Amino acid sequence: MKLLYVASLMLAGAALAYPAFAFSGKAEGQPLAHMVFFTLKDHSPEAVDAFVADCEKYLTKHEGTLYFSIGKRAEDVEEPPSVKDFDVALHVVFAGKEYRDKYLASKRHDDFVATIKSRMEKARVFDSYLPKP
């Protein structure tokens, strides 16, 4: 979560450097960060590992993906503002919103949802535009 905190600070600094971008809420041609925090019904290490494997199987190597990572919650990190009600965090950065839209409409994404929906308690999605590199 510390990395996420540092990344948030970096993004906040970038937003200050691009004031028009920071307040528009949408940006043509901007990279789009798609972060999903999954809470599973079964929190056992085996269930979490199986879920991570499904994410890697269905959600990697989609067109327009600039960055992909999947990780288990860092249970040993103790920081008062840390959110701890999730099991798996997905981080995907797309070259633009159009690639995120294709990803969400893809058969592999649909297959992923069908595979995991009975094992998932909830998913929270956070999408944000990033400054161009």
| Beta strands 120-129 and 32-40, pairing class | antiparallel
Extents of the domains making up the chain: 2-129
Reported pTM: 0.79
Q: List Cα–Cα distances, 118 to 57, 58, 84, 112, in angstroms.
A: 17, 16, 21, 11
Q: Would you say residue 15 has pLDDT above 80?
A: no
pLDDT at 78: 84
CATH number for the domain whose boundaries are 2-129: 3.30.70.100
Q: Would you say residue 44 has pLDDT above 70?
A: yes
pLDDT at 81: 85
Share of the chain above pLDDT 70, in %: 80
